A and B are shown apart, each in its own frame.
Chain A
């Protein structure tokens, strides 16, 4: 309980930062909105034969891509705190060892809520119309948030290990950017070379995109060629991925924080 209260103070700090430096929030929402508009109008014509149009498949793809980038944001934030010596100060305080890292992941999670709302509205303006009803749509968004949260813990670990904000931001981006494209997020995996198709189908980004498409009431026509387990059960597979990521990286991160030194 105490640990959670301490964590929430750290989260509050992050929200305060957003009010003091509103550029961060603005940039964080402009980028995904830009992606929505670009993909919608550049590749929109590709999906002439897709029921409801390309935008129906695109939006889940961009949602997942955006929450995937949480990894880099969290990593950068923690590495920055590390560089500035702020982590040292936190570690000299009588607070729970999990508080700082937990607070950071919660803060990045809250930021994702704002970003997803803005993106959802933008999507609606450009023709995205989920058909599955309020409950499933909400479930879809919850899954997205939880996916971002799980990746945020990977970011915590990366940030604590690297200690260099610029390096870790670049490395995380180099890692997550291809991951979001080697997937069914924007184009059909069937047009990829065989080995990439397998990778794309097992890629957590793909399972998430497929899961969210399903929850929004659209047939996932991008992928499912190899008839693999993840393409047949994307929701289950995505949940497994998230739980596994958290189970590995949450304890690792807390341990790393405990022993971290500048």
Chain B
């Protein structure tokens, strides 16, 4: 059974000037995790907001748990949990206060709300911090509390909109652990992210979206092979370039590319670490000393390049912005 179905969703902002969703369709099987992967502005958040009844689509149709999100939003709200990019909790209150308040708003009795708050704080390792105002929490703790608040009624369908954006590596790992536990319990999860490794780690299935449309759908392995798997990248001294490139081409059975200015040779490899060892062995024999040597996994940017033929727009804009700023400092 499909827990989430979206068909041909369209949404524009600012009187049609900004197309957020342009005929987006997707579905999520009950009890599975779908990762929506895309850069900022690709329509991830808009999709989540429509499915979570916060926003109405201009056209199209969507159901969550079999309930129409436009026609019967209140019934949808009874079965979903939503946790956003930022911790949407009252920061002046304590973790305990927040969870009890949300419990009461889900119409639990005072006793039930208290019990559930205790339980969730325990589950998310926040018991020690329960009586402290959220303001004093670390970023990771805030997100965990926010997630806890979305789980009060044990929702059938959970939406997580970029659950780890802005967290430090440790916070991210902790969050991943928490989400994995939830998934084991069988909740249907729709997760948006900008990071391929996050989708990789958490999702059964990934939908890549760009400009408000799903442009690819599949398991992470399938997507990665579409991108071309790992690449070997190395930088050598100018005098070694031709012999190095010859070795690489022979070992990887492929035509490597060369960036002359950076003296960087790059080639796709099928069996990454094995190829790396072979290359090093041959280089050693040939007395070539690479200045830099790395195995690169496909990044979201690579997936994007491969699937759309354009760099994720936000990234381009950011780079330009940085250039402009740097120029301004001179």
Contact = CB atoms under 8 A, between A and B. Distances in A.
Interface of A: 2, 6, 9, 12-13, 16-17, 20-21, 84-86, 88-95, 99, 261
B91 A92 contact: no
Given A85-B84, A88-B54, A89-B82, A20 B92 contact: yes
B93 interface: yes
Nearest to A100: B105
Given A92-B80, A94-B77, A17 B93 contact: yes
B91 A84 contact: yes
Contacts of A86: 88-90
Contacts of A95: 105
A86 B88 CA distance: 5
B105 A9 contact: yes
Which 6 A-B pairs rank lowest in CB-CB distance, beginning with the nearest?
A85-B88, A89-B88, A94-B77, A92-B82, A9-B104, A94-B78
Contacts of B80: 92
Given A20-B92, A86-B90, A94-B78, 10 more contacts: A16-B97, A20-B94, A84-B86, A85-B84, A88-B54, A88-B82, A89-B82, A89-B84, A92-B52, A94-B107
B294 interface: no
26 contacts: A6-B105, A9-B101, A9-B104, A13-B93, A13-B97, A17-B90, A21-B92, A84-B90, A85-B84, A85-B85, A85-B86, A85-B87, A86-B88, A89-B82, A89-B84, A89-B89, A89-B102, A89-B150, A91-B53, A91-B54, A92-B77, A93-B102, A93-B106, A94-B77, A94-B107, A95-B105
Contacts of B52: 92
Contacts of B97: 13, 16, 20
B173 interface: no
A21 B135 CA distance: 11
- Interface class of chain B by DSSP: loop
Given A9-B104, A20-B133, A21-B92, A94 B84 contact: no
Contacts of A12: 101
A92 B101 contact: no
Contacts of B93: 13, 16-17, 20
A94 B91 CA distance: 22
B24 interface: no
B90 A94 contact: no
B88 A84 contact: yes
B253 interface: no
Nearest to B159: A92
A18 B175 CA distance: 31
A23 B49 CA distance: 36
Contacts of A85: 84-88
A43 B47 CA distance: 60
B265 to A, nearest CB: 47
B190 interface: no
Contacts of B74: 94
B232 interface: no
The residue among A2, A9, A12, A94 with the most chain B CB atoms within 10 A of its own CB is A94
Contacts of B54: 88, 91-92, 261
B115 interface: no
B88 A13 contact: no
Contacts of A89: 82, 84, 88-89, 102, 149-150
